[in-house]
Structure 1
């Protein structure tokens, strides 16, 4: 029986780890976690996101702008994250509205599609 999701992986170009750590750890505020010793030679880095992990690997020859694949970070204040990203010159892409959620998308510095999503309660009609 599947009991949950342990981690998701995204990729960045080889040699871009420092730029990736700056964006994911400094701009988004995610905590880097130690990779197991046997995997350290593969490049990339790992992040803690709540109880889950995001593994940032390295990969060449892949156009990240051509895929709909993405991570969606659940947030408490979607407007805060819109402001943070705009202050860091990250282009905000409006998402198709879905009931009971506020959300937007953006591309990380490597072209990976990312979504910020907040559940909201609507009153009235």
Structure 2
């Protein structure tokens, strides 16, 4: 039986951890959590998000800008998030409407697709 989602993983190019932390920890405000010692030498870092986590792994040779794969973050004040991202030069992409939700998408600095979604 599947109980829920434990974590999701996105990837960044090898060696881009500082830039990824600036985006995910400082701009988006996600909290970094310690990786187990057995995985610390593999690059990347982990983010705590409620009872789940987002693992940011280091991987080369991937064109992240060509995939629909993404993480959707449930947010409050979707419009404020849009303005905050646009102030950093990040373009909002309007998604196909989903009944009961407002949302938009964008690409992180590495090409990963990201969604912000708010129940209405």
Q: TM range, normalised to the smaller chain?
A: over 0.9
Q: Distance in 2 between matches of 1:90 and 1:27?
A: 11
The CA deviation at 1:114 is 0.2
Normalising by structure 2, we get a TM-score of 0.98
Bigger radius of gyration: 1
Report what 2:66 is aligned to.
66
Task: Determine the structure 2 residue equivalent to 1:14.
Answer: 14
1:54-78 deviation line (CA, Å, top 9, x unaligned)? 0000100010011000000001111
Could you tell me how far apart the structure 1 residues matched to 2:79 and 2:91 are?
A: 14
1:1-125 maps to which residues of 2 (within 5 A)?
A: 1-120=1-120
State the shift of 1:2 in Å.
0.9
TM-score w.r.t. length of structure 1: 0.94
Q: How many residues get paired?
A: 120
Structure 2 residue runs of 5 or longer lacking an equivalent are none
- State the 1:96 CA deviation: 0.8
- Cα shift at 1:50: 1.6
CA offsets 1:63-121 (integer angstroms, 9 cap, x no match) = 0011000000001111111011011111111111111100000000000000000010x
State the distance in 2 between where 1:19 and 1:65 align: 17
Which runs of structure 1 show a deviation greater than 3 angstroms over 4 or more consecutive aligned residues?
none
Q: Provide structure 1 residue ranges, at least 5 long, that are not aligned to the other structure.
A: 121-125
